Structure 1
Amino acid sequence: MTNAWNDFNDARQNANLIPKGTIARVRLTIRPGGFDDPSQGWTGGYAKRGQTGAVYIDAEYTVLEGKYARRKVWSMIGLYSPKGPDWGNMGRSFVRGILNSARGLSDKDNSPEAQNARRISGIADLDGIEFVARIDLGTDANGDEKNDIRQAVTRDHKDYAAAMGSLAAPMGFAPAPAYASHQSAYAAAAQQPAYAAPAQQSSYAPPQHQQPTHAPHAPQQPAHAPQQAAPAPVAGARPTWAQ
């Protein structure tokens, strides 16, 4: 390899390609295609329909950190093909991986919380989502090599935590869907009584109920007079001094 400034025979054919197998955190941006089919849940103009009748998501991925930060990769996420269900099923599998990766789930986790985290309200929920991807190599329409992303890396992968960085969550916890934690908080609140009495009665009596011993006008009880016990508090009743 000469690296001579005037001899380019040993230069890489395409230096812009990210090496195959690179693991990186990326952000998905959808390039809207203007195609809607409400019966399929494709609304908002995010889907795109090709000349063959195939429907897909036109995806742009931006590498967020590391050696290839700010580099972009483009690919299609299949929604429907007139040739059969395979392309749509591949797209569904890929989106499942994206949600697992973005929300810190193991693909083996089938708990109700994990199943809820794998649901979206529409394609718009995927726009801007960040996850860990394995960057691959494919070919474009002209047969030339290009980068592609076909696989999301989940927390089961040994490189997931390092790539996700501070966004990585403990095993089994989904950080992204805030609605799950909100539902848990509401359920816990619903189990609390409307009024909860103090767990422990305070031994401190309010000043207006105390008769200081040094007050000259305070009547003194005879030494032999029995001490009158304070009335027992009624459960759930508010003390008169708090009114």
Structure 2
Amino acid sequence: MVDPVEIFVQQDLQEVAEGAVPRHVAIIMDGNGRWASRRGLPRTEGHRRGVKTVREIVKRAQEQGVGYLTLFSFSSENWSRPASEVQFLLSLLKRFIRQDLMKLREADVRVRIIGCRHNLPDELLRVLQEAESATEACTGMVLQVAFNYGARAEIVRAVQKLTAEVSAGARSVESIDEEMISQALDTGGMPDPDLIIRTSGEQRLSNFLLWQAAYSEFYFTPLAWPDFDAAAFDDALAAFGARERRFGGLTAKVGP
């Protein structure tokens, strides 16, 4: 008699073998400042070049058939950077959305923004809302931008939401399970990332998608974000395709 757990694992591995492209790729775009410093350039130039890489990787992810692409653009901890750098990063984000929104819509890319929006400047909020509303009818790849985002704060918001529902009598404490928590997160309705990429040599999550990364594969590259081109992205996908994902189950032979 075949173990049902083994059948489940075989099916998962078969899917990886037949379609090695991950459904959801998340990227920690790291190294803009270091890239610039090594070249004797201001840090702002590294961020400017990083935007060019964003455009290239969004395009390549579409070409490769990735369904969801999440980019960690600005963490809740980034506000502690020098005010001039923060303002430059915010202006880059606004410029990217305004200049690229039409192209993204034409390419059938839907934009989602995750992160805390409380106390954000009104102008910035309008830009974020415009990006989402202008592309909400798109049915192609989902480009999810993590802005003013921190995973611990995201989990706190989810717990507060569910607690409020319990207090209002809308649900019981006993009814809360993992799926319910997942849906209460900023990423509710999205599949968890299959692959998380971090550039510039660091090997940590830095408060990014902590709940969602439970079974993600990780890919670390020494390349700084401005040097991470389409070929480097393809290398990351190839590395993912060569891995065996067990999801805590048994090792199983792929195929017949």
TM-score range, shorter chain: under 0.3
Question: Which structure: larger Rg?
Answer: 1
Which structure: greater helix fraction?
2
**RCO higher in 1 or 2 (8 Å CA, sep ≥ 6)?**
2
TM-score, normalised by the number of residues in structure 1? 0.20
Q: Identify the structure with the greater strand proportion.
A: 1
